[in-house]
A and B are shown apart, each in its own frame.
Chain A
């Protein structure tokens, strides 16, 4: 580095020394830097060493740490999945074993004693299943889904209750993509498969405090907030609705804009379906999108009101735990309650005093019947879910009320398939137009009914009502569940229902009865619902074996066969997840190597070039020292004698 002009006229003695010192200093500083680089292995140790690369270095370092963490999370997920796979394999084995017991005990080669002893083996298989289903890895329960810290299956009312969730615990691996870590009893073991799914849309009313995130929107795609144009008697203002939280916020903002122009013009109010725009007499208020916006459309407020009230589109508020039951759009009998039978226990769940859906859910769980009240996925209705496997549940009306029907949670309705009766054994109908049942009335009339072609409960009721011609009517029981026949005739004859032609239809429908002088035959509920879970089917097999019921054994065997398919699918899905995780592990490892090499390129010392440079500097230093010593040694004074 030249710091002295080449056209320098004079050179003073001090200058020689100064310039030598300055060059010495520079060389030594640079040598120290290189020494530091070589000994630390890093050419960039503080950001300003290479300010252009500082941010990239920080980024790469962060990525590397993240990759390490991802690898750890992946290993953890992979461990859980491996244990899940082996547990599912254990469960499959025991189901296979139970299934082979079922097939070996169907024929004539077995007898009641053998079956009874086989029942004990099945019983022990149930215990093993309970253990496997409650297995955990490192504190994470394999089959409890998101409630990962809670043991999923507990015994209740003689069955096995599943208290886990339907969704799995997920972890993120790279790029924020979630992958399920554990499984849940509902999908892997069918623990929440009860068939009471409500079809009633409770249609709650919109209120000022209804959150915008809790409405489906007038177009059913949620609400996208933006700006709308409000025109009041020709004066247009744009109203920014972003950062609104509730329906009330929307009304407040628009009304504030309207008031700013003409407080007497009218306003927007929250009404049961969403909004109502009212313009006072002689005024016109128009709300429209700005450009290609969708806010007004989503809120259903793209309206024009001229001297009158206009109701906007239905924003479809969803049910939430805090939804007030008084806002339901359909009448619901909140006082009668549900009559629920779980196994041998019957209780009435009374919703009196419940103000929110959460209160109702609290009342359901307080009954301790292994039931849970869930809001369905679209937020329109309520499902009453049976958590307990192995016992039958019947949900009906209490004391002539309509609660169950109103909520749509009645387990037996007109649309119930006959094939679902008696745990799927169905109703044995003779066919070919033969009469299946005979109803004997008080006046001695015998009404013969053919059920050929009937597939639902409604079909059966209509067949009886048609054949009875008014003297006997069929309907659903007003209290509890089951079919109810009413004799409208008078006389001394006994009101009886019997099977005809060696059939079983009346028995299978649960209405085979003789009530003598009574006018009503209330059928037993033979269409109770149960969870189609591995637990249920093993318990069904055990009970059938104990009762020496070959039809039951066959049915249980078939159900277990289906379970094996489910388990195989579960194992397959576990396998797919494992593969994804393995692939992600490999990818993470690859990316880690790439990133580490990029980081090294930016940050690490290139030892070869550093040492080469060091050698150069060494020579420079040596030359400088020698030159300096020579130059400074020479002085005319030495030559004067």
Chain B
């Protein structure tokens, strides 16, 4: 054992403790750095020198390695929890937006507008002679139609926004993949299979955590230090190569679907959680579903209301009238796809009454609509023919497939009644609403121009209110076409359905949040920096350093002493 050797022992203490202090310093500096994993210097005693057989004297210390405190299993669980939480949050965002667009518990909601509309009919029924109340019914109808249209428009925007979100998030995910691949490469180079590029690994973990917010990923750590990333066992990063992600809007069975694919080979991914997966799911399952519910409701509203309205009469008859819905083929039976009517008429009949204004004389004819599927069924041309056979009436089918009925002169008007076939409503004759869905619902412009055409009465009696009474009660009447549901009930069901979805998603956000918080607390407990702990380490390494320095000075003195012997 030499004194020089002892100097070396002292020096190893200085050097290693200094390194350890640096690690502590690094930990302290990064105590608030997101994604930073605490590092520890692993210090071991150097192998001793045998001074006599069986007796060893230590040669100081050496820095074996600097390790990161990470728990890979925990990280995996945390990433999966993060995917779940982000999915729930994304869905919550979408559902909350739908809810606020519909805003159904407010005075501006569809439910309330429906009530106001029904009440305006009831008001008209209590005083059918008041022209102001007719205007009120028409304008309430317009408010309802406009509201439905606005809600529909905002829902469409929401769907577009969701689509933009999907694309943006996929682009972001794709960039993260590129970064991970590049870090994989750096790690492989830096570690050469054995080293520890801690900062790079931290960065990669950080990127994986960001990626798991978007798509649920699993990872496979390779011996080279690089990490493969997979979605549903399909690799998206392989070693130093990102296989990339892209979203392709594809037309699938008539509807536009957003599909996530791997750029490299186009394999289809169906992520069940993460923001992207949830947005793709919510786009169809929530937004499109809500739009469809609104369209169905609006369609039912239009058809059911028109069915009653078209069989009533206003204070005035029509001199000329053009159907608002055309057929594709005027020779096809009205309820066939060839005719192309959105609303289907059924087997039945309706009556048309032509009134001569100067004499008050009326002629009523029954128009049969034979749609029983046996023998020859009624086409629009047949109806036009039957109408033209009524004295003082001409009916033609225009090139656009719309029926046009004209009275012979301004002395004649015509009105409709007792339609058991719903043909009038299906064709849009004497209708209240025009359109077929929420996208195009509007009040028949003939009524806005002349509210006297509003069919408040039945039996061709001026001042009658029976049709208005029927319409006022229509929204609360169970309808066979809606399987015994009421119109209002069908809308309330939808609102209830989405309220339940939103509510359960809010709970899911909370519960997944608790899981994530718990896991990240666990992760922090493994990887987080505790300043007190570091301070203690700081003290001990500092003391150790001081000790080594003191030891060197003692050895130095010893050397001086030894050298002093040589004079």
B136 CB, min distance to chain A CBs, angstroms? 12
Contact A362–B521 (Cβ < 8 Å)? no
B199 CB, min distance to chain A CBs, angstroms? 17
B281 CB, min distance to chain A CBs, angstroms? 19
In the complex the two chains form, what is the Cα distance from A69 to B121 in whole Å? Answer: 10
Q: Please tell me if A22 contacts chain B, counting CB pairs below 8 Å.
A: yes
Give the A-B contact count at a CB cut-off of 8 A: 253
Q: Please tell me if A155 contacts chain B, counting CB pairs below 8 Å.
A: no
Contact B495–A15 (Cβ < 8 Å)? no
Surface stretch bound by A, among B237-245, B440-448, B524-532? B524-532
Q: Given A65-B115, A322-B351, A46 and B105 touching (CB < 8 A)?
A: yes
Q: Given A1-B514, A51-B499, A58-B104, A13 and B529 touching (CB < 8 A)?
A: yes
- Which residues of B are found within 8 Å of A66, using beta-carbon distances? 115, 118-119
Q: Please tell me if B522 contacts chain A, counting CB pairs below 8 Å.
A: yes
- Which residues of A are found within 8 Å of B517, using beta-carbon distances? 3-4, 19, 22
Contact B125–A171 (Cβ < 8 Å)? yes
In the complex the two chains form, what is the Cα distance from A22 to B346 in whole Å? Answer: 62
Q: Given A18-B520, A57-B105, A13 and B126 touching (CB < 8 A)?
A: no
Q: Please tell me if A245 contacts chain B, counting CB pairs below 8 Å.
A: yes
B460 CB, min distance to chain A CBs, angstroms? 10
Q: Given A51-B503, A146-B464, A249-B347, A77 and B126 touching (CB < 8 A)?
A: yes
- Which residues of B are found within 8 Å of A630, using beta-carbon distances? none
Contact A139–B99 (Cβ < 8 Å)? no
Q: Which of A4, A358, A365, A637 contacts B518 (CB 8 A)?
A: A4
In the complex the two chains form, what is the Cα distance from A68 to B119 in whole Å? Answer: 9
Please encode chain A, from 262 to 290, with 1 for each CB lying within 8 Å of some chain B CB and 0 for all others: 00000000000000000000000000000
Q: Please tell me if A219 contacts chain B, counting CB pairs below 8 Å.
A: no
CB-nearest residue of chain B relative to A68?
B119
Surface stretch bound by A, among B146-154, B164-172, B354-362, B399-407? B354-362
Q: Which of B122, B364, B493, B529 contacts A73 (CB 8 A)?
A: B122
B interface residues, tally (CB under 8 Å): 92
In the complex the two chains form, what is the Cα distance from A329 to B440 in whole Å? Answer: 52
Contact A176–B115 (Cβ < 8 Å)? no
Q: Given A15-B525, A322-B351, A637-B531, A61 and B105 touching (CB < 8 A)?
A: yes
Q: Please tell me if A398 contacts chain B, counting CB pairs below 8 Å.
A: no
A294 CB, min distance to chain B CBs, angstroms? 20
Q: Please tell me if B75 contacts chain A, counting CB pairs below 8 Å.
A: no
Q: Given A171-B465, A245-B421, A54 and B496 touching (CB < 8 A)?
A: yes
Q: Please tell me if A76 contacts chain B, counting CB pairs below 8 Å.
A: yes
Contact A636–B469 (Cβ < 8 Å)? no
CB-nearest residue of chain B relative to A212?
B420
- Which residues of B are found within 8 Å of A150, using beta-carbon distances? 462-463
A621 CB, min distance to chain B CBs, angstroms? 18
Contact B420–A211 (Cβ < 8 Å)? yes
Contact A13–B129 (Cβ < 8 Å)? no
In the complex the two chains form, what is the Cα distance from A576 to B188 in whole Å? Answer: 98
Q: Given A1-B514, A14-B529, A54 and B521 touching (CB < 8 A)?
A: no
Q: Please tell me if A437 contacts chain B, counting CB pairs below 8 Å.
A: no
B-contacting residues, A30-71, CB 8 Å: 44-48, 50-51, 54-55, 57-59, 61-62, 65-66, 68-70
Contact B531–A47 (Cβ < 8 Å)? no
Contact A635–B347 (Cβ < 8 Å)? no
Q: Which of A1, A3, A73 contacts B125 (CB 8 A)?
A: A73
Q: Please tell me if A178 contacts chain B, counting CB pairs below 8 Å.
A: yes
The 4 A-B residue pairs with the shortest CB-CB distance, nearest first, are A12-B528, A149-B463, A47-B499, A48-B502
A–B Cβ pairs within 8 angstroms, 13 of them = A12-B527, A15-B528, A18-B524, A48-B96, A48-B499, A55-B492, A62-B488, A70-B122, A72-B126, A165-B461, A245-B348, A249-B372, A637-B535
18 more A-B contacts (CB under 8 A) besides A18-B520, A147-B462, A169-B465?
Answer: A3-B514, A10-B528, A12-B527, A14-B31, A47-B105, A66-B115, A66-B118, A73-B123, A77-B126, A138-B127, A138-B130, A147-B464, A149-B463, A165-B461, A246-B349, A321-B364, A356-B364, A635-B531
